[in-house]
Structure 1
Amino acid sequence: MASTSDIDTPESPELLAHSSLPKDVSQPEVSMVEESTVTGVTFTPELWMQRRHWALDVIRKEGVRSVLDIGCGPGSLLETLVIPPSTIAEPPIRSDQISSDGQANLNGEQEIFIQRLGGLDVSTSVIASALKTLSPPSASTNNASTIPRWEPLTTELWLGGIEKYNAKLEGFEAIVLLEVVEHLDPDVLNRFGVVTFGTYRPKLMLVTTPNFDFNAKFPRAEEHDFAKKGFVDPTGRTDRVFRHSDHKLEMTSAEFRAWAEAEAANWGYDVEVSGVGVSSQPSYYPSDDPSQPGQPIFASQTAIFRLATGLPLRSPRSVRTVELPFMPGSGQSSHTHKLAGKFVHTISAPGDGKKHPPHEVIQAVRECFERWNIDEVSLDELWGVHEVSGRCAGSKRHLVGSIGGYGDCPSLLGIDTEFEVTSQSAKGLSVKWKGFSPAKEEVKKEKVWGQSIQDIDNTRSAETGGW
């Protein structure tokens, strides 16, 4: 349900009237790079999916707990981040075996554990879709098939521009901008660093933007006369032809790197520049060394900004709203940002929220094996049984520790149990019941046509002496 605790105070931006949102949402414009009939190239998976996968992968590896998606659109990234993880926030179970690279083998991919999730977009046409994405499931859908949520999640959605400071958007560990900066007017882009790096100061900032170098590398660029199908720089600063009608800037690889490194140095960040989107017919930058292959030309450029410990070239300055004595109405109440909704996704998981003793967990596991009449199942299949995961209070490490331990997750009993956790190469972890004995199936009596069941029983009794 929506929370009003943050929208009733005088300092809070106005709550957006949902009745003002457009009823019919038009399909977003597709950039020329992603229109294969124009460029003659395709992307597998699609380019927008590659950008989203890149962002999710970085968020997962960095262990981020709160994310603000600026320029969230209809909610492509949000719809993935809002999905509950399968466990409580805990480290993955690692093998105690050392691989050839000297690292402990990882069993099971680390999940993303988000506690706070926010979206911001300037377009009213996408707010309704994003709002639906961030809203908790309705009571009618909250049934046994719903994915358990072991920890609460707070979500919020805002309508407004990136250049405007919003006190309610502080405190996010990570800020993500997927294909956003190229849509910003020059004056807004100049304010970008002050608001994001200088004021919000997230630990992590993820940015993607089109690579102008890619535009000229289309196999059919000349054949289709891309200059006529593209869009001339509307700012008049260059004679470049862009991919999208709303783009105000498309940087080359060298320009993007220079911009990213300058922003990082200005505000005290380290930056890692790369890209995503190698087409089905890739092109390459020539290598400085003729004996070495060239670097692929990515369709989208990426930058990972990490907050550094060194001093920035510019003093981090704030654009926080300050209420001056002679301006009593200058607080957040007059802010141009509108709050579309703020929600709390409450815990909806089986069990009583407490980790049960190992012997009770073992009992639940044993009942599963007996019911399935099998000697081995994957750990994930076992975890999917609510009687098991509920007794572990959402901790898969507690389950593994209860039934004997594995890798960096030691046995909670300190002794061997009737179960054993093993690694099945690409299949992940499995649980084997060492004491398994197949249950005998009940012998069904065969009816002979023309003979009653009573007669069959009498005949068998005579043959077996009554046994």
Structure 2
Amino acid sequence: MFSPPLYKQRYEFVVEFVKSNDVKSVLDVGCSNLSLLRRLRFLRHVVELLVGLDTDASAVRRSMFTLSPFPGDYLQPGERPLAVELYHGSVVERDPCTRGFDLVTCVELVEHLPLPDVDVFSAVLFGYMAPASVIVSTPNAEFNPLLPGVTAFRHTDHKFEWTRAQFQAWARDACRTFGYAVEFTGVGEAPPTHAHVGFCTQIGVFRRAEGRGAPADWRAREEPSAYKLVRDAVTPLQSPHLTHGDGSLSPAVPRGVPQPEGQQRHAAGAGERGAVRGGAGVEGAAGRGGARRRRALPAARLRVRAAAPHLVLSQDPVPVPDAAGAETRPAGRPEGHSDPGRPRRRPAGRPHLTGPPALCSFPDGSSSRLVPEFSLDCLCIWFGILRNTALTACVDACGSRNK
């Protein structure tokens, strides 16, 4: 009856709103199979945090891997951080991790709540979460006679369905109580002969009134108390970072070219991610991700040997030309040093990679260096391509069939 399908029109309405309003953080209440969040993840030039909340933990777990970083995110990382968090919980419960978002979406949610919980839902959504903007969509009961096969409600789980007058009365009452302004629109236009019934899906766009008070900052959210974290993920950033001996981060520089003493820069977004998870320090996703990569390197090298036994991996670093073109030994390896058990000392101020480069020796006698992080990505991410593609296709098929 609708082209494109009605559920796609609802999601596209939210996507266009995010694009036009420079939204950095989005909380999708009633995220179900994560269809909306999967569309928003492609707006990496705008969005930095995506959070989903649903009472059906099994539905979230079935689809959660579709929000994992794509293989291309490792080969061509983005310039901005993107964090994804999925929670199991109810919208009628208050949790500090939901406060201060730029946008909260409630797409086809309110009609699934028992009528006594609607007032609690309004208080939690507008009074406690207090986001900058809210998008609420719900079926228009006046449109139901035009839908084939619909005799009462559109879905067996719907507890009620509002007419336009009922929805607008609820929305204006919430605005007066909690200090918001609302605009009404919708998707799914009626045929010209029945234009008087309005849209098939009615939508209210709420905006926080100015002067209501300082809104909470989503970057300084607290740890969840009522909700249970199901999964979180962080998309890789563009610039790899090196570590100094004191554990601080600095921009990546070519090996053999010393970095000036004191020149340090923390990874972009690491502090923000630490704040998102409630941490007080500057260590965030980039730091923890680097630790995970360091722990995974030995397993990656085992995969190399299993997948390509004709390659011989040497753990000894190879000489690298410095800025002047002359070959230099790896930091800390004095000339003539051959004792593998002897501790190595690194000069102060010299950054080092998270793992030594490996030397690939081929049967014909040629050789080339293999950076450990690159070997991990190249050998591991391709095994996930078919998995992610199949999961995405299945979830989209199930979502379109359910709608």
Query: Given the alignment, which residue of 123, 127, 143 partners 2:60?
Result: 127
1:264 aligns with 2:175: yes
Cα separation, 2, equivalents of 1:127 and 1:311:
35
Question: Does the 8 A contact of 1:268 with 1:310 survive in 2?
Answer: no
Say which SS state the counterpart of residue 348 (structure 1) adopts.
Answer: coil
What TM-score comes out, normalization by structure 2 length?
A: 0.54
Deviation at 1:134, TM superposition (A): 2.8
Deviation at 1:311, TM superposition (A): 5.9
Q: How many residues were matched structurally?
A: 236
CA gap of 1:124–1:150, structure 2 versus 1, over 3 A, is: same
Say which structure, 1 or 2, has more relative contact order (CA 8 Å, 6+ apart).
Answer: 1
CA gap of 1:282–1:344, structure 2 versus 1, over 3 A, is: farther
Deviations 1:368-390 (A, max 9, x none): xxxxxxxxxxxxxxxxxxxxxxx
Q: Which residue does the alignment assign to 2:233? A: 343
Cα separation, 2, equivalents of 1:187 and 1:125:
26
Q: Which has the larger radius of gyration?
A: 1
CA gap of 1:142–1:60, structure 2 versus 1, over 3 A, is: closer
CA gap of 1:143–1:310, structure 2 versus 1, over 3 A, is: closer
CA gap of 1:308–1:124, structure 2 versus 1, over 3 A, is: same
Match for 1:195: what amino acid? Answer: V
Question: Does the 8 A contact of 1:75 with 1:129 survive in 2?
Answer: no
Q: Which residue does the alignment assign to 1:307? A: 208
Say which SS state the counterpart of residue 14 (structure 2) adopts.
Answer: helix
Cα separation, 1, equivalents of 2:62 and 2:101:
22
Match for 1:303: what amino acid? Answer: G
What TM-score comes out, normalization by structure 1 length?
A: 0.47
CA gap of 1:168–1:350, structure 2 versus 1, over 3 A, is: closer
Q: Which residue does the alignment assign to 2:29? A: 70
Match for 2:236: what amino acid? Answer: T
Question: Does the 8 A contact of 1:174 with 1:205 survive in 2?
Answer: yes
1:298 aligns with 2:195: no
Cα separation, 2, equivalents of 1:166 and 1:216:
40
Structure having the higher helix fraction is 2
Cα separation, 2, equivalents of 1:268 and 1:74:
32
CA gap of 1:132–1:279, structure 2 versus 1, over 3 A, is: farther
Cα separation, 2, equivalents of 1:343 and 1:351:
19
Deviation at 1:348, TM superposition (A): 3.3
Match for 1:205: what amino acid? Answer: V
Question: Does the 8 A contact of 1:75 with 1:130 survive in 2?
Answer: yes
Q: Which residue does the alignment assign to 2:136? A: 207
Deviations 1:21-43 (A, max 9, x none): xxxxxxxxxxxxxxxxxxxxx00
Match for 2:185: what amino acid? Answer: S
Deviation at 1:171, TM superposition (A): 2.4
Deviation at 1:84, TM superposition (A): 4.9
Q: Which residue does the alignment assign to 1:114? A: 47
Q: CA RMSD in A?
A: 2.9
Cα separation, 2, equivalents of 1:125 and 1:280:
39
Deviation at 1:351, TM superposition (A): 12
Deviation at 1:143, TM superposition (A): 5.5
Deviation at 1:203, TM superposition (A): 0.4
Q: How does 1:186-201 map to 2 (within 5 A)?
A: 186-201=115-130
Match for 2:230: what amino acid? Answer: A
**After the TM superposition, which parts of structure 1 deviate over 6 Å for at least 4 consecutive aligned residues?**
349-354
Say which SS state the counterpart of residue 209 (structure 1) adopts.
Answer: strand
Cα separation, 1, equivalents of 2:21 and 2:73:
31
Structure 2 unaligned segments of length 5 or more: list them.
216-222, 243-249, 252-403
Query: Given the alignment, which residue of 154, 157, 175 partners 2:83?
Result: 154
Question: Does the 8 A contact of 2:100 with 2:132 survive in 1?
Answer: no
